[in-house]
Amino acid sequence: MAVHVLSGPDMPNYTLLWNAPAQCVEFTWNGFVKGADFQDGCNAMLKELTARKASRLIVDSRKYTVVDPADQLWSIQDWLPRALAAGLKHFAVVMPESVVGKLSVQNVINDKKHTPKDLELQREMFNSPDDARAWLASTQRKAA
């Protein structure tokens, strides 16, 4: 698999990859972050999506514990519209290992109060990166 690591030691909170065969950005949280560190990670995802003109994203949240409420709101109201404008169409989330983390991430994904009603984004939740990649591959075949 032709995967290019795009992050390094100056980015300890996350790992960012470009998966060329899947034509997707793969982002992994390396632990809990909030506020500016959370936004930096999300903006790094967006920068790579934009640079690659990619419509597919995997976010691996297995090591994430909980999404801070302010970060939840920011991700829905600020980051998501920019990601959609950049062309994001398929968003796979690998769920946190902790029960509290799973509930927190589900709250963000299922938020109907702050999420646009006409959202043109397929979002799915998975327990492993391989399952997320398989789903993204199926969306790629359907688009071809």
The pLDDT tens digits of the residues spanning 38-96 come to 999 999 999 999 999 999 999 999 998 888 989 988 998 899 999 999 999 999 999 99
Q: So what's the pLDDT on residue 143?
A: 59
Q: So what's the pLDDT on residue 1?
A: 45
The first and second tokens of residue 59, run together, are: 């976010």
2, 29, 23: which is closest to 96 by C-alpha?
Answer: 29
Longest dimension (CA), the chain: 39
- Lowest-confidence segment of 26-30, 108-112, 124-128 by average pLDDT: 108-112
Would you say residue 114 has pLDDT above 60?
no
Q: So what's the pLDDT on residue 41?
A: 93
Residues 113, 86, 46, 22, CA torsion sign:
positive
Domain ranges of the chain: 14-143
Can you name the CATH fold of 14-143? Transcription Regulator spoIIAA (3.30.750)
CA 90 – CA 9 distance, rounded (Å): 28
The pLDDT tens digits of the residues spanning 11-45 come to 688 999 999 888 999 999 998 899 999 999 999 99
